[in-house]
Amino acid sequence: DQALVWFRRDLRSFDQAALHEALTLSRRVHCVFIFDRAILDPLQRHGATADRRVAFIHQSLAELDAELRSHGGGMIVRHAHAESEIPRLAAELGVAAVFVNEDYEPAAVARDAAVSAALKADGRRMISCKDQVIFEKSEVLTKTGKPYSVFTPYKNAWLKTLMGAADDPFAANPLLNRYLSTPDYGRLAPAPVPANGLPTLADLGFLPADLSRLDIGPGMSGGQELIDAFMDCIADYETARNYPARRGTSHLSVHLRFGTVSVRSLARRALMERHNGAGGAGAAVWLSELIWRDFYFSILHHFPHVAQQAFKPDYDRISWASGPEADEMFQAWCDGKTGYPLVDAAMRQLNETGFMHNRLRMVTSCFLIKDLGIDYRRGERYFADRLNDYDLSANNGGWQWAASSGCDAQPWFRIFNPVTQSEKFDADGVFIRSWLPQLGRLSGRDIHAPWKLAPETLRQAGVELGTDYPQPLVRHEEAREQTLQRYAVVKKAI
Binding residues for ligand FAD, per CB under 6 A? 241, 249-253, 256, 289-290, 292-293, 296, 358, 361-362, 365, 383, 387, 389-391, 394-395, 397-399, 402
Q: Given the complex with ligand FAD, which of 7 and 383 has the nearer CB atom?
A: 383
Q: Min. distance of Cβ 230 from ligand FAD in angstroms?
A: 7
- DSSP-derived letter for residue 185 is G
Q: Given the complex with ligand FAD, which of 189 and 211 has the nearer CB atom?
A: 211
Q: Min. distance of Cβ 53 from ligand FAD in angstroms?
A: 11
Residue 110 CB contacts under 8 Å (≥ 6 apart), including other chains = none
Q: Min. distance of Cβ 320 from ligand FAD in angstroms?
A: 16
Q: Given the complex with ligand FAD, which of 79 and 377 has the nearer CB atom?
A: 377
Q: Min. distance of Cβ 406 from ligand FAD in angstroms?
A: 10
Q: Given the complex with ligand FAD, which of 163 and 240 has the nearer CB atom?
A: 240
Instruction: Report how far residue 332's alpha carbon sits from residue 92's, in angstroms, rounded to the nearest whole number.
Output: 52
Task: Find, among 17, 73, 26, 61, the residue nearest to 185 by Cα.
Answer: 73
Quote the Cα angle for 282-288-292, to 5°. 145
Q: Min. distance of Cβ 204 from ligand FAD in angstroms?
A: 23
Q: Min. distance of Cβ 492 from ligand FAD in angstroms?
A: 27
Q: Given the complex with ligand FAD, which of 244 and 339 has the nearer CB atom?
A: 244
Q: Are 43 and 199 in contact (CB under 8 A)?
A: no
Q: Min. distance of Cβ 257 from ligand FAD in angstroms?
A: 6
Instruction: Report how far residue 96's alpha carbon sits from residue 91's, in angstroms, rounded to the nearest whole number.
Output: 9
Q: Given the complex with ligand FAD, which of 173 and 253 has the nearer CB atom?
A: 253
Q: Given the complex with ligand FAD, which of 394 and 436 has the nearer CB atom?
A: 394
Instruction: Report how far residue 470's alpha carbon sits from residue 291's, in angstroms, rounded to the nearest whole number.
Output: 40
Q: Are 158 and 319 in contact (CB under 8 A)?
A: no
H runs (alpha helix) in 241-391: 253-258, 263-276, 280-302, 324-335, 341-353, 358-366, 376-386
Q: Given the complex with ligand FAD, which of 124 and 361 has the nearer CB atom?
A: 361
Instruction: Report how far residue 440's alpha carbon sits from residue 432's, in angstroms, rounded to the nearest whole number.
Output: 8
Q: Min. distance of Cβ 13 from ligand FAD in angstroms?
A: 21
Angle between helices 392-403 and 376-386 (to 10 degrees): 150
Q: Min. distance of Cβ 118 from ligand FAD in angstroms?
A: 31
Q: Min. distance of Cβ 258 from ligand FAD in angstroms?
A: 11
Q: Given the complex with ligand FAD, which of 252 and 283 has the nearer CB atom?
A: 252
Q: Which residue is nearest to ligand FAD (CB)?
A: 398
Q: Min. distance of Cβ 439 from ligand FAD in angstroms?
A: 24
Q: Given the complex with ligand FAD, which of 111 and 293 has the nearer CB atom?
A: 293
User: Residue 162 belongs to what H/E stretch?
Assistant: helix 151-163
User: Residue 97 belongs to what H/E stretch?
Assistant: strand 97-101
User: Residue 171 belongs to what H/E stretch?
Assistant: none
Task: Find, among 293, 6, 5, the residue nearest to 132 by Cα.
Answer: 293
If you compute the radius of gyration of the chain from its CA atoms, what whole number of angstroms results?
Answer: 24
Q: Min. distance of Cβ 353 from ligand FAD in angstroms?
A: 12
Q: Given the complex with ligand FAD, which of 191 and 283 has the nearer CB atom?
A: 283
H runs (alpha helix) in 410-462: 418-425, 430-435, 455-460
Quote the Cα angle for 108-15-128, to 5°. 35
Q: Are 432 and 422 in contact (CB under 8 A)?
A: yes
Instruction: Report how far residue 129's alpha carbon sits from residue 17's, in angstroms, rounded to the nearest whole number.
Output: 6
Instruction: Report how far residue 459's alpha carbon sits from residue 267's, in angstroms, rounded to the nearest whole number.
Output: 52
Q: Given the complex with ligand FAD, which of 58 and 357 has the nearer CB atom?
A: 357
Instruction: Report how far residue 18's alpha carbon sits from residue 400's, in angstroms, rounded to the nearest whole number.
Output: 32
